Structure 1
Amino acid sequence: MNKRLNILVTGCGGDIGQSLGKILLKSPYTKNLFGIDISDKNAAKFIFPNFSVGLRIANCEYLKKLEAFTDDNSIDIVIPIAEPELRFFSENSVLDSIGNAKMITASSKALEVGFDKYKTAQFLEAEGFPFPRTYLAKDITTIQSFPVILKSRTGSGSKNIYKIDTMDEFQFYTRNNIEDYVVQEFITDKNGEFTCGLFRSSKGEIRSQIFKRELISGYSGYGEVIENKTITSLLEKLAVRLDLVGSINVQLRISENSPKIFEINPRFSSTVLFRHLFGFEDLIWSIEDRLGLKLSDNRKDVVGKKFYKGYEEYIK
């Protein structure tokens, strides 16, 4: 393909958006790189050559203004990153295009299942996947065995996730909004925690990469690429059952010698840049697949390679 693209990343101010910006700046597919966020108090404005502040999703003019922006700047590809935006697009079936620009998101079933933690559990159970037992908090009168995990049904990342050891703690954290919480079986991380990049093309080609990771301040601060045929097989089955097209992140822990899926994040994840540096270029593959191009393949044997999350300062 000779044509280079005008690419827009929305919700670009967070760590995922900034990682995508760093990848796209070096991509041969990028002609002009644009970023929009609801605030300019983040480092994205130093990464995206064309950065601007946009409207919040709750603004009734949001979609109209975004369409106008894509037209005014001849945007070819839009990549939404912020979960409120992705939820909005999913719920309103705006997943193909905005104006004349093509959109890149995970496919509709992956978004629907992944953005609702209770639906995730229901899906995994119905499809026969190993998963931690999960209940609606509002349906619970007593908890027989502690600890358990309390998490927002619609939350993202590590926000609103609590390890609960008593009924008093359960009642404290759910006192204001019990409707939005699920209670999940606690799985110890003594056998490790795994975060997995999972990509499936529109033609059904599946690619995955597994990190055994450690969380630091809620993020994947350290990790190692591993090979695990059981997890790989599980991921491939998941991609098919989800009717996945695009890239998602799957998190697992091992219990009773079986990997159990406890989270499906239907978007690019915070490890997208690490994966890219290891040859798992799911952002680039997503662009190629959306344009109907043959997928590139720079994967290599990186089992045992490690990543470390660092920080970078910007001064203006």
Structure 2
Amino acid sequence: MNKALNILVTGCGGDIGQSLGKILLKSEFTKNLFGMDISNKNAAQFIFPNFSVGLRFTDEKYLQQLEAFVEGNNIDMVIPIAEPELRYFSENNHLDHIGNAKMITASAKALEIGFDKYKTAQFLKAEGFPFPETTLAKDIKTIANFPVILKSRTGSGSKDIYKVNTIEEFLFYTRHHIEDYVVQEFITDMNGEFTCGVFRSSKGEIRSQIFKRELHGGYSGYGEVVENETITALLEHLAIKLDLVGSINVQLRLSENTPKVFEINPRFSSTVLFRHLFGFEDLIWSIEDKLGLELSDNRRSSVGKKFYKGYQEYTN
């Protein structure tokens, strides 16, 4: 029996945080499960036995409050989920621990590259990976081929992503914040869109899983586990070049049978619970690796397995 831990998930109000909570509730690593979010107007309060409202990372007392919470509740491990918080921890060099609690995040280089869509493209280009051509919106003089994808350079999820068909649309969407946008080559989803979980341990072991997915309202609403040796090889090479330790999510589309990476999310993804149910337990592996334990392995042949995103209602 492994040591049971007091675990805190911050930014737990969204779908990713709630998924982690459901996994951790059933884990032998969990002694007491705590969740913290900036609002209680979400379903996390019904999932986390110990739920509380915390400060925004922009509050000058944020870190002080978090450290006091960790100390007061004997927290052993902190798992931050919200990308703004992850940026804060990365920029302020708090990726190893908060107080006496160990931190579960992707490693520094993966965070730095993944947080910036333009830096992601520059990295992929420099390392020889296939990628969609990406340009800073403020540097655009003309657009020769429509449609293009316009997205926030620093945004996360499906927020501030537009398929732009005319120069008028481009000018409309960038009229206020053109400095924060990138323009990306549009890759048709005729051959499918793929979301991939990638985990690499501190000893260099790499594990990955590929979902061919369909988006419903900006989220992975349906997907199927697929096997693709070319994509798997790309993911392994990418993990090495990123000096990855931890778990990330890679999104790509096939262009003439070549997988082109269009996004690297340096965190657990919204499909983390589906992956876990199919034996790809990257949250558990992250905890084991942080504790210096041998990685468990409940992977099994799951090619062809499908997931369907549903909803659950709560009242009080």
TM-score, normalised relative to structure 2 = 1.00
Q: Quote how far apart the aligned CAs of 1:257 are.
A: 1.6
- Taking a change above 3 Å as real, the CA distance of residues 125 and 102 of structure 1, as seen in their structure-2 partners, is same
Which runs of no fewer than 5 residues in structure 1 stay unpaired? none
Report the equivalent of 1:181: 181
Partner secondary structure for residue 88 of structure 2: helix
Report the equivalent of 1:305: 305
* Alignment pair present for 1:223 and 2:200: no
Report the equivalent of 2:25: 25
Alignment RMSD (CA, Å): 0.5
CA distance in 2: counterparts of 1:229 and 1:256, whole angstroms = 16
Residue identity in the other structure for 2:195: T
Matches within 5 A, 1:142-291: 142-291=142-291
Residues 78 and 103 of structure 2 are in contact (CA less than 8 Å); yes or no, is this contact kept in structure 1?
Answer: yes
* Alignment pair present for 1:98 and 2:98: yes
Which runs of no fewer than 5 residues in structure 2 stay unpaired? none
Deviations, residues 139-181 of structure 1 (Å, cap 9, x unaligned): 0011011000000000000000000011100000000000000
Residue identity in the other structure for 1:105: T
Deviations, residues 94-125 of structure 1 (Å, cap 9, x unaligned): 10000000000000000000000000000000
Residue identity in the other structure for 2:203: K
* Alignment pair present for 1:129 and 2:122: no
Q: Quote how far apart the aligned CAs of 1:93 are.
A: 1.2
Deviations, residues 244-301 of structure 1 (Å, cap 9, x unaligned): 0000000000002200000000000000000000000000000000000000000000
CA distance in 1: counterparts of 2:243 and 2:170, whole angstroms = 36
Partner secondary structure for residue 215 of structure 2: strand
TM-score, normalised relative to structure 1 = 1.00
Report the equivalent of 1:57: 57
Report the equivalent of 1:79: 79
Q: Quote how far apart the aligned CAs of 1:2 are.
A: 3.8
- Taking a change above 3 Å as real, the CA distance of residues 170 and 159 of structure 1, as seen in their structure-2 partners, is same
Residues 2 and 28 of structure 2 are in contact (CA less than 8 Å); yes or no, is this contact kept in structure 1?
Answer: no
Report the equivalent of 2:3: 3
Partner secondary structure for residue 197 of structure 1: strand
Partner secondary structure for residue 204 of structure 1: coil
Partner secondary structure for residue 220 of structure 2: strand
Residues 7 and 32 of structure 2 are in contact (CA less than 8 Å); yes or no, is this contact kept in structure 1?
Answer: yes
Partner secondary structure for residue 65 of structure 1: helix
Q: Quote how far apart the aligned CAs of 1:208 are.
A: 0.1
CA distance in 1: counterparts of 2:44 and 2:262, whole angstroms = 31
Runs of 4+ in structure 1 deviating by more than 4 angstroms, as ranges, are: none
